[in-house]
Amino acid sequence: MTSRDDTLFHRIRGLHVTRRTALLVAAPAPFVAWLPGLAGPALAILVLIVVTVLVRRDISAAPGAAQLNVVRTMPVKLSMGVPNPVTLTIDNSSAHTAHLTGRESPPVGFVGKRGIGPLDIVGYGTHDVRLLFTPPARGAYSFGDVGIRTVGPMGLAGRQFIVTLAEEAKVYPDISAVHRYSLLARRGSLHEIGIKRARFAGTGTEFESLAEYSDGDDYRDIDWKATARRGAPVVRRFEAERSQTIMLAVDTGRLMTPRVEGMTKLDRAVNATLLLAYLATMSGDNVGLLVFGRDVQRYLPPRKGHRQFLAVLEALYSVEGTVEEPDYSGALRYLAARLGKRSLVVLMTDLAGTEPSRRLLAVLGSLTPRHLPLVITQRNRDVENKANRIPDSESDAFETSVASSLLHDKAAALRLLSARGSLVLDVFPEELSVSAVNRYLEIKARGRL
């Protein structure tokens, strides 16, 4: 049975006939025209009777809505920007083989294959159809019903019906990245996604184990008693202290709304924030969250544990960007008034122009040296490419000049932030999550808090 044969030709009250039926009916037409007398019409009637009988048999052998049960299974929380599995389990309770095609109804904007089949499900058999859909943004969506069309064994006709499966789907930040991180951490394979092992000796670290000396180890970490016993250099390994405070601050302002490679800068920042929240709670740290634009939108005081991670996840679920300038002063002063213990304040934002940079510089001064700010911004390949190209026209020269000015202002602001005690990280959007995790691990391992 080809896909051409499965093409719907006619629909009558939940039934359908295929092109194959139309071709069978039309095939004798040239002969009918040349036969003498009543022979031609008689042949035409005979063909119609035979085709009708065959069509009826095909329809009776094609399982319908009463014989095919369809169940949709998908994650309770879908992840934004990555393929999510959606499984349709089709159970055939009839004795006939179900030759079927169908169509899933994902929410508008979801990217992925919607077609089902063609596939054959033997009598009393079950088949799982696995589809992948990529949501474009966070928020609440709705999957629709599923359309199914079956044909009989001769491919002439069959049944068609709608399976009522409408249900709500919630799209969260990229939870799959958290699951993958957790799995790789258990396997000791975090290097596969670019996470570096960051354990260094220093003030404020806890002893973990002894290990053979290797290039790059600090001589001050040598355990001389263990070295004497083994007859070879042995060093003490340290791990980062627990129970530190990490405050994650996410800017939802104008500069976070541009879309880069299918995702906004805010979406990238939210994904990175979620991964940091997971890692920090699993490390025993107190984790808090501040989401702000012109006003403070959400605030979670620092707490420990998996419940706090889930609270962060729910708080980030429906965060949306705005076209307003962020109020750094109001947000960070709001934060400083609520942070008693020295904290790592991770600020996900972006900088363009001298005025926003001045506002951020002014308010970050009130956080240091009591707290340790880490300002994370995202690079823009398009701007960098324009700044580095050789212009071919006057308009190109203007664009190159503007791009160079933007990069210069941002670089100057980041240098000044660093000089005044803040840590800075400026990376491409697709590198944001891994780079943020590596910097967090480095800060922990070096005992900066």
Model confidence pLDDT, tens digit, residues 15-29: 888 888 878 777 776
* Per-residue pLDDT tens over the stretch 231-240: 888 877 665 5
In this predicted structure, the answer to whether residue 268 has a pLDDT above a threshold of 70 is yes
Give the contacts of 68 (CB within 8 A, at least 6 positions apart).
90, 91, 92, 93, 94, 98, 100, 148, 150, 163
User: Is residue 299 assigned to a domain?
Assistant: yes
Determine the pLDDT at residue 238.
61
Tens of pLDDT, residue by residue over 104-132, are: 999 999 999 999 999 999 999 999 999 99
Q: Please tell me the predicted confidence (pLDDT) of residue 295.
A: 94
Give the per-residue pLDDT at 198: 57
Give the model's confidence band at 351: pLDDT under 50 very low, under 70 low, under 90 confident, else very high.
Answer: confident
Per-residue confidence (pLDDT) for residue 177, from 0 to 100:
85
- 222 and 119, same domain (yes or no): no
Within 8 A by CB and 6+ apart from 259, the residues are none
For the chain, give the percent of residues with pLDDT over 90: 49
Q: What percent of the chain has pLDDT over 70?
A: 86
**Residue-wise pLDDT tens digits, 163-204:** 999 999 999 999 888 888 777 776 666 777 777 765 544 444
pLDDT value of position 207: 56
Query: How many domains are contained in the chain?
Result: 3
In a domain, 42, yes or no: yes
Torsion on CA atoms 201, 202, 208, 209, rounded to nearest 10: 40
Per-residue pLDDT at 33:
64
Same domain, 347 and 220: no
**Confidence tier at 6 by pLDDT (50, 70, 90):** very low
- Name 249's bridge partners: 290, 347
For residue 195, is it within any domain? no
Whether the predicted pLDDT of 298 surpasses 70: yes
Alpha helices in 318-372 (DSSP H): 328-336, 354-364
Residue 257 and residue 150 share a domain: no
Enumerate helices (H) and strands (E) in the chain, giving the number of each: 13, 22
Lowest mean pLDDT among 34-38, 60-64, 359-363, 435-439: 34-38
Residues for the chain: how many in total? 449
For tokens 């670290």, the residue is 205
Are 314 and 437 found together in one domain?
yes
- In this prediction, residue 344 has a pLDDT band, given cuts at 50, 70 and 90, of very high
Phi-psi region of 341 (alpha: psi -120 to 50; beta: other; left: phi over 0): beta
State the CB neighbour count (10 A cutoff) for residue 195: 18
Whether 224 and 254 map to the same domain: the answer is no
- Is residue 235 domain-shared with residue 251, that is, in the same domain? no
Radius of gyration of the chain (CA): 32
Contact 88, 127 (CB under 8 A): no
pLDDT range class, residue 365, cuts 50, 70, 90? confident
Measured CA distances, 321 to 27, 150, 271, 294, 426 (Å): 62, 46, 14, 11, 20
Give yes or no: residues 155 and 29 share one domain.
yes
Q: Do 229 and 117 have their domain in common?
A: no
pLDDT of residue 40: 64
Instruction: Enter the DSSP assignment of 13.
Output: T
The enclosing domain of 270 has a CATH number of: 3.40.50.410
- Please report whether residue 188 resides in a domain: no
- Indicate the Cα dihedral angle 171, 172, 175, 176, nearest 10°: 30
Shared domain for 229 and 249, answered yes or no, is: no
178, part of any domain: no
Residues 233 and 272 in one domain: no
**Which of the four pLDDT bands, split at 50, 70 and 90, describes residue 346?**
very high
pLDDT of residue 202: 43
For residue 13, the domain's CATH number is 2.60.40.10
The reported pLDDT for the residue numbered 327 is 92
Say if residue 436's pLDDT is above 60: yes
Tell me the pLDDT of the chain averaged across its residues. 85
DSSP code for 168:
E
Question: Are both 435 and 289 inside the same structural domain?
Answer: yes
pLDDT of residue 7: 39
152 and 224, same domain (yes or no):
no
* Mean pLDDT to the nearest integer, 234-257: 82
φ, ψ of residue 277 to 5 degrees: the values are -65, -40
Cβ atoms of 87 and 128 closer than 8 Å = yes
Range of the domain at 37: 1-172
Interval 55-98: pLDDT, tens: 899 999 999 999 999 999 999 999 998 999 999 999 999 999 99
- The Cα angle at residue 383 between residues 381 and 384, in degrees rounded to 5: 65
Would you call 101 exposed, middle or buried from its count of C-beta atoms within 10 A (0-12, 13-18, 19+)? buried
156-165, 206-215, 334-343, 435-444: the lowest-pLDDT one: 206-215
